[in-house]
A = this chain, B = another copy of it.
Amino acid sequence: MSTVMEFTLHDKPAQLPGVRPDGHELKPMPQVVLDRRATAHFLPDPMPANYLDAILQIGSQAPSGFNFQPWRFIVVQELENRRRLQKAAYNQAKIAEAPVVIIFLGMKQETKDHAHDVFAEGARRGVGNPAHVDTTTQNALNFLNTMPMPVWVNRHVMIAFTTMMLAAESYGFDTAPMEGFDPAAVKREFNVPEDAEVVALLAIGRMKPPDKPYPGRYSLDLVVSAETYGHPWGG
């Protein structure tokens, strides 16, 4: 970081936009999910700064285990930088087309380093007993040590990722989630610390038609079990 960052915690964001840029109502969740497609091509329309800020604020309010917030976001808007990202991502055209592409990172050791700070600040805000912060921190670190940190940070960064994707769609924008990239190249080109996992990319903007056909989904009969694995649902 170019300045020493304070790992302090803040209150909820205020004044998020309550309508779409064109004044229409926000799309409700069922419509968001039914309308949403991985956008193949984007128009060059710029992204309104207040909506981009709102999407980032909403994503940053996502929940995480122990409130550790292992996510970091690089917002890439300059064309030259999107072209560099495109080269690190199998040359996907949408990365150069969309006005905004966000690189989602998950911090492994950094998250552990700030565990005590998060619990101490939570206790100041009434979550947990201030006298137990040391014990709680050690228990949380012991839990993290039960699984590989790339698994844990991927699990959590995707909560913020999905929240941002759905928020953008609710505001009437189109999105493209991407996992096709060379993590080492992304890290090299965007000065990403060794500690970070590159989890996913999210392009946001306006779709250039036509939309893709819908490829279908498995039925609930296949993906849902009732009570125990393999017991039919909705029989």
Contacts and interface: CB of A to CB of B under 8 A. Distances in A.
Contacts of A11: 214, 216
B228 A190 contact: yes
A219 interface: yes
A71 B1 CA distance: 37
Contacts of A222: 5-7
Given A166-B163, A191-B228, A234-B53, A223 B34 contact: no
A107 to B, nearest CB: 10
Given A74-B225, A167-B29, A125 B213 contact: yes
A63 B177 contact: yes
A224 B56 contact: yes
A46 interface: no
A131 interface: no
Interface of A: 1-3, 5-13, 16-18, 25-26, 28-30, 32-34, 36, 38, 53-54, 56-58, 60-63, 65, 67, 69, 71-78, 81, 105, 118, 121-122, 125-127, 143, 148, 150-151, 154-156, 158-159, 161-163, 166-167, 170-171, 177, 179-180, 190-193, 196, 199-200, 212-234
Given A13-B34, A57-B220, A67-B217, 11 more contacts: A7-B218, A10-B216, A56-B220, A67-B216, A72-B224, A74-B226, A75-B233, A77-B226, A121-B216, A143-B180, A158-B162
- Which 8 pairs across A and B sit closest by C-beta, in order of nearness? A9-B216, A126-B213, A162-B162, A158-B158, A29-B170, A122-B215, A26-B28, A16-B30
